[in-house]
Amino acid sequence: MYGVIIEGLLESLSITNLILIFLSTFIGVIIGALPGLGPTIGIALLIPISYGMETTTALLLSAGIYVGAVYGGSITAIVLGIPGTPTSTATVLDGFPMSQQGRSLEALAASTVSSSFGGFVSALFLMFFTPMLSRVVLKFGVAEQFMLAMFGLSVIAVSSRESFFKGLLGGFFGLAIATVGYDPITGYNRFNFGVDYLADGFPFMVVVIGLFGISQTISMAEKAQTISGSTELSGSIWTGTVKVFKNMRVLIQSTLIGSFMGGMPGVGGGPANMIAYTTVANSSKDRDSFGKGNIKGVIAAEASNNATVGTALIPTLAFGIPGSTVAAVLLGLLMLHGVEPGPKMFIEMPLTIYTFFWGLLFTNLILVLVCFPLLKYFAKITIVPYQILVPNIFMLCVLGTYGMRGYVFDVFVGIAFGVLGYFLKKANYPMVCIVLGLVLGRLAESNLSRSLMIHRNLDFLYKRPITLTLLILTAVIMIIPYINIEKIKRRLRKN
């Protein structure tokens, strides 16, 4: 087996393959940076083109696009405050405030380095621990997935410290939007007003582009200035890089969360990104500076989403069950090339598989090489006057909403959410709570229904070890913000 691993390494290091990885990573970054286009569409675009290619070539190209696109979403998230992909929603929370302070270069560098690190570790997991981790995946049934979603939702309680009720309302609003579309259990069409375009619910990315992007352009159009408020940039790539390694704990913590969430079928990068961010935010001493341009927020969000890339392929390769929509498309690509995914693959075409694994590893390193020279230009966007920026961003957003599924209907949905988002922002509703509700609503709802259908009562919440652990964690997370540690310490000292 180790012979094949080395052989795969040599194969992936050939000049043509390295050039392929380089190019596809670059394309991936661009695809990811465009709002509405993400890794799923990127790889889907590759499917018809890849037909005539060698399987290895196609796989390496998809690795580059996948990694590049998951990272690329953070560029738009940091520079413009619009998540370029669903997996970089949490990046906006601290990345954009950093840009507003003129520290976009620092944020972009931190995002690149932590993405690269998260992706690299995740690819290592994929390469060496697939058989082991696939056992863990099998421990997560519907009840566990429901509790995982609840754990994610509990984060609403802590991410809205400024106004608890506004956060809660936002979360409920998100959950309410998530109920539009067919009922995952009965198949009944709910709240779609008879429109078949809404039968699958509001497309997540369209809502996000509306809430973050289009609302942003409206508020920008109000004043004449630049994102950073000045015409000069402060901070450098170097400071951003150094800060990542100074926050090693955050980096490792969020990489592990991301890797874990990525491996859960049906959970994917979006929730991973949010959950890692909030976990880090709440376990940090400087909790209050999150959301105001704390670099740890960017590190957590970006390390975690790229850390889902490798592990999302674990259930795909081990069982032929995709861990995310991207993995599903990749699975399709594999099948088109006549590759039957599953344990058999490691026996029948080990060289292809290990070349792909190495390719994935190198892509994460090459990412830094591809992106560092570009960061300067991306950062410049934050010193472009709004008069020039606003029409361009608006056009990008509209195209993004259209590009998701290719339905004009979605453009109007996006604009409607944009107007709504503008007013919600004015009223200080935390957007992150809405998105959390939206992201986790379906996961929670469908798995709760399934658990109830299977277990017929709520015993599963505390009778299974994993759900019980998650239940306790959820309770702790919800209580934490209301405990004043200093006060308790003082009281203890008195006694």
Binding residues for another protein, rule: CB under 8 A, are 30, 33-34, 36-37, 41, 43-45, 47-49, 51, 138-143, 182, 184-189, 196-197, 199-200, 265-266, 315, 319-322, 328-333, 335-336, 338, 340-344, 377, 380-381, 384, 388, 392, 395-396, 399-400, 402-403, 405-406, 446, 450, 453-454
Q: Pick the closer one to another protein by CB: 110 or 143.
A: 143
Q: Pick the closer one to another protein by CB: 224 or 475.
A: 224
Pairing of strands 189-190, 181-182: antiparallel
- CB 190, min distance to another protein, A: 13
CA distance 455 to 458: 7
CA distance 97 to 92: 8
Q: Pick the closer one to another protein by CB: 35 or 430.
A: 35
- CB 464, min distance to another protein, A: 11
Say if CB 481 and CB 164 are below 8 A apart: no
- CB 217, min distance to another protein, A: 14
Q: Pick the closer one to another protein by CB: 298 or 334.
A: 334
- CB 388, min distance to another protein, A: 7
Q: Pick the closer one to another protein by CB: 46 or 90.
A: 46
Integer CA distances (angstroms), 386 to 161, 224, 225, in order: 31, 6, 6
Q: Pick the closer one to another protein by CB: 123 or 329.
A: 329
DSSP 351-380: HHHHHHHHHHHHHHHHHHHHHHHHHHHHHH
Q: Pick the closer one to another protein by CB: 328 or 370.
A: 328
- CB 407, min distance to another protein, A: 8
Q: Pick the closer one to another protein by CB: 343 or 481.
A: 343
- CB 79, min distance to another protein, A: 11
Hey, is 181 helix, strand or coil? strand
Query: Rounded to a whole number, what is the distance in angstroms from the first to the last CA of the chain?
Result: 63
Say if CB 323 and CB 264 are below 8 A apart: yes
- CB 162, min distance to another protein, A: 35
- CB 172, min distance to another protein, A: 24
- CB 429, min distance to another protein, A: 30
Q: Pick the closer one to another protein by CB: 383 or 477.
A: 383
CA distance 343 to 347: 7
Q: Pick the closer one to another protein by CB: 184 or 481.
A: 184
**Contact partners, residue 489, CB within 8 Å, separation at least 6:** none
- CB 206, min distance to another protein, A: 13
CA distance 177 to 202: 7
Say if CB 56 and CB 356 are below 8 A apart: yes
Integer CA distances (angstroms), 331 to 40, 133, 421, in order: 11, 19, 36
Integer CA distances (angstroms), 192 to 70, 127, 200, 276, 447, in order: 31, 44, 9, 33, 22
Say if CB 363 and CB 25 are below 8 A apart: yes
Say if CB 335 and CB 124 are below 8 A apart: no
Buried b (16+ CB within 10 A) or exposed e, 13-38: eeeebeebbbebbbbbbbbbbbbbbb
CA distance 337 to 170: 45
